[in-house]
Structure 1
Amino acid sequence: MTAHIVIVDDDIDLTNMIRRFLERHDFSVEVIRTGEGASERIQRIQPDLLILDLMLPGVSGMEICANLRPQFDGPIVMLTALADDVDQIAGLNQGADDYLPKPLKPELLLARIQALLRRHRPSSPPAANASQAYHLPPLSIDPPLQSVTWHGEPLPLSGREYDLLFFLAQHAGQVLARDRLYQAIFQTHYDGIDRSLDVLMSRLRRKVPDGENYIRTIRGQGYLLALEKQDR
């Protein structure tokens, strides 16, 4: 099935070039030239991937990215003419999956798009004990409903964020190596370079109250969910 890509950028020459290039590689492409109304359109059509300019008239790309993440689980590639690493880090922290500077190299953009789409194929939660509820106070997970609560309050997560938290909960108290987590969530081997897991982990930690304390990085080893399972 043809992947549908939305580009949000006010640069007419650039978007025309990207559209023609991607259409030659069998993608369906839609262009939005202003930040106003972009979030609503993207939430409604749920494209396979979003290319988002940082500097937009009306509403900034950073704001659109932050607003979209609770409702849009597809990959987001940020574009910017700014060279400041602070802007790159800020974009990734708002939920972007990758970051490319302008002037843009179409072949590099294509490679990034293909890699992101492979990693963001619709996934199923890790299969082991997939029907078993997990009670790790203050966290509770109901796999059949894919619902998560924290102190009884719903915790809104994207599909990938849920998959990651569910896998961590299945192995609560265990240190999980990056390679193992990456393969479980993205169904492919970690190449030693890709940062999708880091971005996903950062988003999950921001949504879990006191996430840095409960979802810990064990230097040189991996990640640990510092909660204990309780049977009901």
Structure 2
Amino acid sequence: MAQTKVLVADDDPNVREIISLYFSKQQIDLVVAGDGKQAIELMEKEAPDMVILDVMMPQMDGFEACREIRKKWDTPIIMLTAKDEEFDRVLGLELGADDYVTKPFSPRELVARIRAILRRMQPKAKAVEDVANPLTFDQLTIDLDKREVVAAGEKVSFRPKEFDLLVQMAKSPGSVFSREQLLELVWGFDYFGDVRTIDVHIKKIRQRLDKLPYECIHTVWGIGYKFGVDA
């Protein structure tokens, strides 16, 4: 079985050394970069399975590197931040990061998060469900097999978890889901992040469907969200 290849971009040599020593024992191939600019160059050359970006780096910081990576690749990204502040966490998620780890961190926890994200990306056996395919709602069509969304006659690109989240709600129109329920249903029990992840992904879904003449995802204040089309 091929080893997992992880690109780590951090300007602190001590952090890179700690990660390198631990990864070598975990059957993880490590590719290192000293800044975001070098990380982008290595994305082209190495095609890693996972990217870990420190927020504070010279040349190009982690946020900018995340933004640039998302323009071309859908590779999972974990952000490393020395600040345990909500702004950093939410900004990273909005730019396309899949998770974040606050410094100082345990290498064991970092590896656990890497493996959890990669497990969630593996194809899952289809459950036997009495659900129509495609799901059609007036000017919105969701093809479950092709993982395609057509809104107002135009095909719209979704990142994997955005699509999964949309489908989870669209399969039960009118049902109210709490953030915790959606995390469990879409991300699974091994997710380490917080419920704000749901809010960020909902915001992205709404932006992608902004050509529709109606709102599809409705906020249920104090509880969570529900899917509903009122054309």
TM-score by length of 1: 0.77
The one-letter code of the counterpart of 1:88 is R
1:85-124 to structure 2, matched below 5 A, reads 85-123=86-124
- Residue 138 of structure 2 aligns with which residue? 137
Number of residue pairs aligned between Structure 1 and Structure 2? 228
1:125-204 to structure 2, matched below 5 A, reads 128=129, 132-178=133-179, 180-186=181-187, 188-189=188-189, 194-195=194-195, 196-204=197-205
Q: Which segment is superposed worse, 18-27 or 43-52?
A: 43-52
Uncovered stretches (5+) of structure 2, i.e. residues with no partner: none
* Contact 1:74 1:120 (C-alpha < 8 Å) held by counterparts: no
- Distance in 2 between residues matched to 1:88 and 1:178, nearest whole Å: 17
- Residue 30 of structure 1 aligns with which residue? 31
- Residue 58 of structure 1 aligns with which residue? 59
SS of 1:99's equivalent in the other structure is strand
Q: Give the superposition deviation at 1:177.
A: 4.3
Supply the RMSD in Å over aligned alpha carbons: 3.5
- Residue 229 of structure 2 aligns with which residue? 227
TM-score by length of 2: 0.77
CA gap of 1:68–1:150, structure 2 versus 1, over 3 A, is: farther
* Contact 1:95 1:199 (C-alpha < 8 Å) held by counterparts: no
SS of 2:149's equivalent in the other structure is strand
Q: What are the Cα deviations for residues 74-94 of structure 1, in whole angstroms up to 9, with x where unaligned?
A: 432211334544223212222
1:218 equivalenced with 2:204 (yes/no): no
CA gap of 1:106–1:143, structure 2 versus 1, over 3 A, is: closer
Uncovered stretches (5+) of structure 1, i.e. residues with no partner: none
- Distance in 2 between residues matched to 1:80 and 1:49, nearest whole Å: 17
- Distance in 1 between residues matched to 2:150 and 2:5, nearest whole Å: 33
CA gap of 1:90–1:194, structure 2 versus 1, over 3 A, is: closer
* Contact 2:5 2:30 (C-alpha < 8 Å) held by counterparts: yes
Percent identity between the aligned chains?
A: 31
1:7 equivalenced with 2:1 (yes/no): no
Q: Which segment is superposed worse, 29-38 or 190-199?
A: 190-199
The one-letter code of the counterpart of 2:220 is I
The one-letter code of the counterpart of 2:152 is H
Highest relative contact order (Cα 8 Å, sep 6+), 1 or 2? 1
